[in-house]
Amino acid sequence: MRRHPFEYAVMHVVPRVERGESINVGVVVYCRALDYLGARVHLDEQRLLALDPFADVAAIAAALDALTDTCDPDGDGPAAGEEIGRRFRWLTAPRSTVVQPGPVHTGLTADPAAEAEHLLTVLVRPVAR
């Protein structure tokens, strides 16, 4: 199986920007060679509320839904008409909001959708004990 370069960023929720505390809530994966852009999200409400008991869970969940919609080729969000590379750069641009991207990393993959699931499991979902 031929492997292709891909890029990814972990998405964080920073419920109180002034405190700088965050939890990992998703990943965005882009593979130009395979024309793939995808996002996987997992919001652990207990962890979020441990950081900020007053966090607006519904608003954060809506922002994460918008993130996944932006990756959807049939989505109708503000970036829907853009090619996937531009959408990835838009999603991973630094910002000072509640949902923030981490740095962009690279790797090699034969299956970017499977890679997105793997990264979600390893970097976002709670560790099983």
- Supply the DSSP string of 7-53, one letter for each residue: EEEEEEE-SSTTTT--EEEEEEEEETTTTEEEEEE---HHHHHHH-T
pTM over 0.85, yes/no = yes
pLDDT bracket for residue 1 (50, 70, 90): confident
- Could you state, in order of their start, the residue ranges of all structural domains in the chain? 4-25+33-123
pLDDT tens readout for residues 11-64: 999 999 888 899 999 999 999 999 999 999 999 999 999 999 999 999 999 999
Encoded amino acid at 128, one letter: A
- pLDDT given for residue 127 in this prediction: 82
Is 79 a residue whose pLDDT tops 80?
no
Please report where in the chains the tokens 């503000």 appear, as a residue: 78
pLDDT tens readout for residues 109-127: 999 999 999 999 999 998 8
Q: Reduced to 3 states, what is the DSSP secondary structure of residue 127?
A: coil
